[in-house]
Amino acid sequence: MTDNLPEREDNPGYTAAIQDASHLATTLTQQFITIAIGCIGFTLGMSFTMPSLLATSIFWGILTVFGFSIIFGLLFLMHTIALLSKYQMCDVYKPSLRILSLVQIALTIFGVGLLCLYLNLPKGLVRK
């Protein structure tokens, strides 16, 4: 896991392109966290204003999916910060960072799909 990078030394491999990619990845992760938090707020607000609209299983499914999306986004950011503090650079192409970001993006897209499904439920599937 050391990737043969020197610890806490000047690393000549830290180019402007790597720095830009790292900045873009962290900004994108922050945006997906913001989307997930907004969708959770929207879902909770809708459950209070129109409680008969939400099916219970879909309601908790949406909250769970977006919650895990937030957790994976925070794990990505914490792993990025750990790499920056240890190596003074962050390779966004590391498999662990790729997996964390792909899972976060997939969960956010799945959550938005659930939210759209939930908004277009037939009247027979809503809770009473």
What residue segments make up the domains of the chain, in order of their start?
Answer: 17-125
Mention every residue, 6+ apart, whose C-beta is less than 8 A from residue 16. Answer: none
3-state secondary structure of 28: helix
Q: Mind listing the pLDDT tens digit for each residue in 50-65?
A: 766 556 778 888 999 9
> In whole angstroms, what is the distance from residue 127 CA to residue 53 CA?
7
Q: Mind listing the pLDDT tens digit for each residue in 13-46?
A: 556 777 777 788 888 889 999 999 999 999 888 8
**Contact between 79 and 98 (Cβ < 8 Å):** no
To the question of pTM greater than 0.95 for the whole model, the response is no
